[in-house]
Structure formats: C-alpha cells, structure tokens
Structure 1
Amino acid sequence: MTDPATVIGVDIGGTKTAIGAVRLPGGELLEKILLPTPTAAASGAAFLDDLVRQVGAFIEHRADNPRAIGISICELVDLQGRVRSGHRVRWEGLDPLTRFAEILPTVLESDVRAAALAEARLGAGKRYQQFFYLNLGTGISSALVLDREPHAGHRGNALAIASSPISLRAPSGEIVTQVLEDVAGGEGLAKLAAKAGLSARSAKELIALAQTSAGPARELILDAARAIGVALGQAVNILDPEAVIVGGGLARSEGLFWEAILRETRAHIWSPETRPLPILKGAMTGDAALIGAGLRAYAMSSPKLR
C-alpha cells in the first residue's frame, strides 16, 4: 500500500491556469482555483513570478501539508523537465523548476502527457496496457501510452500531432497547406467562425450552432472532424494501439461533432481488423492534466513509486 498524501497540481493551459490540491493515490481533487493564462510577452517571466506567488499562497492556507508540486504546461518539455517551446507560454530559457522548488519539491511535465497519465492510472485508460491519447482543447496534442506510462520520445517532443503543416497539390496544381490545430483546435475554430461572420464566439458555441443548423457552422465542424479523423486514423495505422482515448474540452461535446470524429477516424483506419478498436472519451473531464501533474509530484515524493 502507498501512503495517502496531498500534492499540488498546477495546469498551465492555453487560456486558463488551474492550481489544485490533489489527494493521492485516489485522485480526489480537494480544491481548485482558476486564473487566466496571460498571452504574448505577459506569459513570460512576469507570469512565472506571479504564479510562484499564487501557488505559495495557495499552499500556505492549507492544513494538510502538501508534499510536492507537479506542473503541467501546454509546451514542449524535455526529459529533464525544461520548457523547450514558447508557442503559448514563454518560459523557454527560464527556470521554473528552481523557482517552484523554493516552495516544495517540483516536477514539470507537458500537459498532454500529464493528462494521458491521469487517464492511464485513474480514468478511461485503466483497462488498457497501451493506448493513443488525443487532447482536443485550445490546441491539439497527443501521447502514446505504453504500459500505462506516456511515451515522451527521445527528446520529449513526441506530442506535436497537430502543429506542423501538411501540404498537398490540388487537382488545379495549387499547393494546399493545412495545420490541424488551425482547422480543428478551439482557438482555430473560433477564428474560422469569426471569419465566416457567425455568431459563435468560441469552438463550443460553434459546435452547438452546428448541431441545430445547416450552413457554414456545420461545414466548419464537419471539416474539423474530418481533419481529426485523418490524423487519428494515421496514428492508429502507424501505432496499432489497443484503444484511442480523446480528452480535452472539445471532446466532451455530444452529437454531431463526436459522431463525425468517430466516423472519420474509422474511415481512415486501413486494417479491417483494427477498425473496430475502442475510441473513448476521457473520463477525467477538465482536470486530467491537473491530476496527472499531481501524480507526477506524488511519484517523485514517494520512493516506492519512482
């Protein structure tokens, strides 16, 4: 048996940052506060300074003596826990581990691997030895889980399924370039809705609008589902996982969008034997990365789990 303990999870997402107290090994979220994630230059050193203060204050008022801090961030994180990109949060070149370690022992992980870990240990992936995890939120990222552990790759960069352009030559001879996040991520869909003059101000509003009306909203959502299905189908063709688990805020949508993702994914899986594999929604709702960061902190602070 492992000893119950409270740890602090910090999930830095593209639009909001969550700080929570997590009781492990059960995964109970005891308390959570939300803060906006700053953008552009404001997401750099000033944000790090402020978040260190916020986390310190959060810990100070708790009476259960949190054991460690786990941080998940929506950026590339290498095998030493260093932030290696600055797409949304500009911590590349900074030293958040040292700053937070002044409060408690700290571990830092990419948000998608933290979320995949939570699903593997406590959520929809518990029954599987291996699965492919896709996170649909403000952006899109992925992780392969092997033996209930997210695979980071040689450098820690095995997550960027949706960030690189795919270029094809159309019958007209024109080169058409598409980036999956731009057509199917939350931020990308909101921009496409605005460009189309639709009333929807977010991806979730666009999905709801597409559910009840034909026209541009439905076309955008079906195009997004098709792009997701192509990417997921190719991932399955390459990796042959036991299952696919889809998490993130957009994955919680019911109806048209989810049904189209299922249909398009299966349509792009080549092997008839593989095609019926389970494609499931994540079970950890919006707290997967927060709890996964807590799991990393718990393992670091518990010698039996290292």
Structure 2
Amino acid sequence: MALVMKALAAGANVTRAAVAAEVGLTRATVSTLVDELLAAGLLEEQGAQRPGTVGRPGTVLALTETGPAGIGAEIGVDHLAACAVDLRGRVRARAERPAANRGRPAGAVLGELAELTGEVIRRAEEAGLTAVRTTVAVPGLIGPDHRTVLRAPNLGWEDVPLDAAFPETSTAVENEANLGALAELWLGGHDGGLADFVHVSAEIGIGAALVVEGRLFRGARGFAGELGHMPVRPEGPPCSCGATGCLETYAGEEALLRAAGVSAGRGPALKAAAVAGDPAALRALEEAGAALGIALSGAVNLLDPQAVVVGGPLADLAPWLLPGVRRELAARVTDRRWRAQDVVISRLGRDGVLRGAAYSSVRTVLDDPATWIRNVSERALTEPSPPPTGSMSCSSR
C-alpha cells in the first residue's frame, strides 16, 4: 500500500498500469491494493487517461483532497505559525501571528502556539480533513525522542518537553533547518529530482541540513547541520556559542541588520534597503555572501552534493547574497566542474519550514496507510452512531 501511495505522490496522470510498472508488482496485485485504498478514502479516480496514450486508456488515480491532514507548527524568535496540508502537500489552512519569543517562558509560547494550531485544525476539519499529527519546528537541538528541545539558544530554552502541549493530535518536534531541507526534497518542484544537496537557511541563526540519496543525514547524535558555527574568519567577532568569527556573526539576520544599519522591519526592511541601493545594506549583503560562500565551500568539498539550495528568509536576499557566494565557491571548490547554477534558490522561501513540518506529519499516512485504515475502522466501531434523521424523541410524541 505504501508503494502505491508514494508512486501516486510522485507523479501525475497515473494509472494502475503505471503504478504496477513503477513499483514492480503485478497489475492484479496493484488493482487489489488500489481498490482497498479507494474504499478507505485515501485515493480518488479522476476519469480516463488523456488521449494520445498507447493502448486502452486507463483510469487516472490521485491522492484524495480530503481525509488525512498533516499539521505543522513553527516557533520563530519573532513569530508563531501553523498550517495544515493534505496528502498532496497543498496548504489547506494557515495562521500566523507576530510574537516576541526570545526569553519568553516556554509555557506561554506553547500555549499560544497550541491555540493557533487548534484554529488551523478546526478550519481543516471544516474542509473535510482529519488531523494526523502535529510536527513542531524549533530553531534548536532536538532530543532523540523527538519530543524535547534540548537547547534553543535564540529562544533561551533548555530541556523543554513539547509532546504534552498539543492535546488534539500526537506530536513530534524537529529542527527547523531539517524540515526546510525535507520540504525542498518533497515539495521543491525540482525537475529531474534533487536527491543530494545542502540546504542552508537563516533567520536569527543560520541552519543547514544535508540530504543524501533522498534521506536526511542527521549525524551520529542527530545534530548535523550547524553551519552557522563554522568559523569563516577565526579572528572575527565573538559568537553566542563562545567561539569567534563564526558564519553567524557575518550572515545571521541580526549581524546583517546591524551592519546595514537597519533597526526595524528586519528582513523585509533589509530587502527594501537593498532594492533602493542603500550602500550600507549592499556592503553588508556582499560581506555576508562572501562569508556564506567560504563556509559552503568547505561543505561542498567535504560532501560533493549535487547542489546547494538557499532557502528560508535567505531566499528573499539571494540576488544580493549569491554573487559573493558563487565567487567564493568558484575560487575554493576543488571540483572545477562546479557551476554557478549549482546554487539554487528555493521556490518555497520562508514557507519551507512550516510546509515541511506539516507534510512530514501527513507522510506518516503515505509511509503506513494500513495503520491509518485500521485506526479509522477502530474509531468507527467505538464512536456512537448518530440518531437516524427524522427520528422523534419520547417527549416530542
């Protein structure tokens, strides 16, 4: 069942015969699985295959627009957000609000986020969707149980459990950079596929994630990707981590704003200053791009990825950052076949983390549809049946 679901998630205009060819099962077996998935409401039929195909046209299948929904929640230093996506990865409900979360008690942050998430779940239910799980994106180190934030320095959190904060669904917690990379893998729309890449994004800090052969690389302890604390100029300014000259001190949002002389409006204001040709903003972005290129050249030489993907808020600033990034990569990457176009700007931008969180939740159904079907059946058996339409109570007689 999972093979069938993933084949449909990866393509369009897909028939039973195409699924059978893709997954290596017989047409009869695939037809039986498809019938069961249709009966469970996880698939839908969309009519005959378009003209021009060889042989008798088959019926086109698609993942359902109703049924399971994944919930994503994001904790930023200055905002909270939540969204719901369906099996196709489309956003069906979204809510966001500004919030000054740095140094704020974790309980207050989580209470407000739970309220926002509950609003999104209710709107998703009105659209015929059922929430499967909530995945919370956090800018910090996550415990191996994916229920605890071990350390989030930009929030001021240490050892904060999150699993009990969202009672409406089961909950998982994930590092925001990892979710941004997974969103790029699943939803980035790269023609021909992109299975080996370094994804880099930044807000207050700078995070990176590595995808190898279509899988997230976590490292031995689960903390891979701390690109922001790679030293680019060891004699440089002190960093919050205790070292000096880290990438974050040159290309993190606060460092950029300080160098550009922008005190309000954060990223959008910095972009506006760059568009207007402000010399301080352009100088800050040029220096940040060069620092980012130095750090990324080490990653490229070590890992030999297909591409570097620039995502998150960095994508908005890419026109001014990328010249410095590409110049440093060209000068420092040992493989001279590395090209400027191997640095890619994410189409998901700032929404990548939130959409990655939501889609990682609904992918639990793609990975194991049989469990979803069994759980739905068990709920149907235990929930009381509604009274027949038009029935009368004793008092109405």
TM-score interval w.r.t. the shorter chain? 0.7 to 0.9
Q: Choose 9-18 or 259-268, whichever is displaced more.
A: 259-268
Which whole-Å CA distance do the structure 2 matches of 1:21 and 1:156 have between them? Answer: 26
In the alignment, what sits opposite 2:234? Answer: 168
Match of 1:67 among 96, 113, 132: 132
Which whole-Å CA distance do the structure 2 matches of 1:98 and 1:17 have between them? Answer: 18
Aligned residues: 296
1:31 aligns with 2:97: no
CA deviation profile, 1:159-207 (whole Å, cap 9, x unmatched): 211135555369xxxxx9312122112222112233xxx6875344334
Could you tell me how far 1:20 is from its partner in structure 2?
0.7
Which whole-Å CA distance do the structure 2 matches of 1:177 and 1:234 have between them? Answer: 18
Q: Counterpart amino acid of 1:13?
A: G
1:266 aligns with 2:330: yes
In the alignment, what sits opposite 2:84? Answer: 21
Which whole-Å CA distance do the structure 1 matches of 2:187 and 2:96 have between them? Answer: 23
Which whole-Å CA distance do the structure 2 matches of 1:294 and 1:21 have between them? Answer: 6
Kindly indicate whether the alpha-carbon contact (under 8 Å) linking 2:234 and 2:244 is maintained by their aligned counterparts in 1. yes
Match of 1:232 among 286, 289, 296: 296
Q: Counterpart amino acid of 1:188?
A: A
Q: Counterpart amino acid of 2:258?
A: K
Kindly indicate whether the alpha-carbon contact (under 8 Å) linking 1:8 and 1:68 is maintained by their aligned counterparts in 2. yes
Q: CA RMSD for the aligned pairs?
A: 2.7
In the alignment, what sits opposite 1:45? Answer: 107
Could you tell me how far 1:91 is from its partner in structure 2?
4.4
Match of 1:186 among 244, 249, 253: 253
Pick closer, same or farther for the CA change 1:59–1:168 going to 2, 3 Å: closer
Q: Counterpart amino acid of 1:7?
A: G
Q: Counterpart amino acid of 1:110?
A: N
Match of 1:150 among 216, 222, 242: 216
Gaps of 5+ in 1: 171-175
In the alignment, what sits opposite 1:12? Answer: 75
Kindly indicate whether the alpha-carbon contact (under 8 Å) linking 2:150 and 2:160 is maintained by their aligned counterparts in 1. no
Query: What SS does the corresponding residue of 2:220 show, helix, strand or coil?
Result: coil
Query: What SS does the corresponding residue of 2:86 show, helix, strand or coil?
Result: strand
Pick closer, same or farther for the CA change 1:154–1:52 going to 2, 3 Å: same
Q: Counterpart amino acid of 2:250?
A: V
In the alignment, what sits opposite 2:357? Answer: 293
Pick closer, same or farther for the CA change 1:256–1:54 going to 2, 3 Å: closer
Q: What TM-score, normalized by structure 1, do the two folds share?
A: 0.85
Q: Greater CA radius of gyration, 1 or 2?
A: 2
Could you tell me how far 1:134 is from its partner in structure 2?
0.7
Match of 1:128 among 194, 204, 229: 194
Could you tell me how far 1:116 is from its partner in structure 2?
0.5
Kindly indicate whether the alpha-carbon contact (under 8 Å) linking 1:187 and 1:203 is maintained by their aligned counterparts in 2. no
CA deviation profile, 1:193-235 (whole Å, cap 9, x unmatched): 33xxx68753443344345547433322211110011011111
Could you tell me how far 1:114 is from its partner in structure 2?
0.7
Which whole-Å CA distance do the structure 2 matches of 1:199 and 1:56 have between them? Answer: 34
Q: Choose 250-259 or 209-218, whichever is displaced more.
A: 209-218
Gaps of 5+ in 2: 6-41, 43-63, 237-242, 372-397
1:185-224 superposed matches below 5 A: 185-194=252-261, 202-213=266-277, 215-224=279-288
In the alignment, what sits opposite 2:120? Answer: 58
CA deviation profile, 1:112-168 (whole Å, cap 9, x unmatched): 111100110120557122111111333211011012222111112112111355553
1:78 aligns with 2:140: no
Q: Counterpart amino acid of 1:190?
A: L
Kindly indicate whether the alpha-carbon contact (under 8 Å) linking 2:78 and 2:98 is maintained by their aligned counterparts in 1. yes
Pick closer, same or farther for the CA change 1:19–1:73 going to 2, 3 Å: same
Query: What SS does the corresponding residue of 2:172 show, helix, strand or coil?
Result: strand
Could you tell me how far 1:74 is from its partner in structure 2?
1.2
Kindly indicate whether the alpha-carbon contact (under 8 Å) linking 1:112 and 1:141 is maintained by their aligned counterparts in 2. yes
Q: Which has the higher contact order (CA 8 A, sep 6+)?
A: 1
1:118 aligns with 2:183: yes
In the alignment, what sits opposite 1:257? Answer: 321
Which whole-Å CA distance do the structure 2 matches of 1:201 and 1:68 have between them? Answer: 33
Could you tell me how far 1:263 is from its partner in structure 2?
2.5
Query: What SS does the corresponding residue of 2:82 show, helix, strand or coil?
Result: strand
Kindly indicate whether the alpha-carbon contact (under 8 Å) linking 1:200 and 1:209 is maintained by their aligned counterparts in 2. no
Pick closer, same or farther for the CA change 1:136–1:262 going to 2, 3 Å: farther
Kindly indicate whether the alpha-carbon contact (under 8 Å) linking 2:75 and 2:139 is maintained by their aligned counterparts in 1. yes
Kindly indicate whether the alpha-carbon contact (under 8 Å) linking 1:11 and 1:19 is maintained by their aligned counterparts in 2. yes
Q: Counterpart amino acid of 1:51?
A: L
CA deviation profile, 1:59-98 (whole Å, cap 9, x unmatched): 2343222222121111111332121212123443222113
Q: Counterpart amino acid of 2:178?
A: R
Query: What SS does the corresponding residue of 2:95 show, helix, strand or coil?
Result: strand
Which whole-Å CA distance do the structure 2 matches of 1:147 and 1:202 have between them? Answer: 36
Pick closer, same or farther for the CA change 1:216–1:27 going to 2, 3 Å: same
Which whole-Å CA distance do the structure 1 matches of 2:174 and 2:259 have between them? Answer: 31
Could you tell me how far 1:281 is from its partner in structure 2?
0.7
Pick closer, same or farther for the CA change 1:50–1:203 going to 2, 3 Å: closer
Q: Counterpart amino acid of 1:191?
A: R
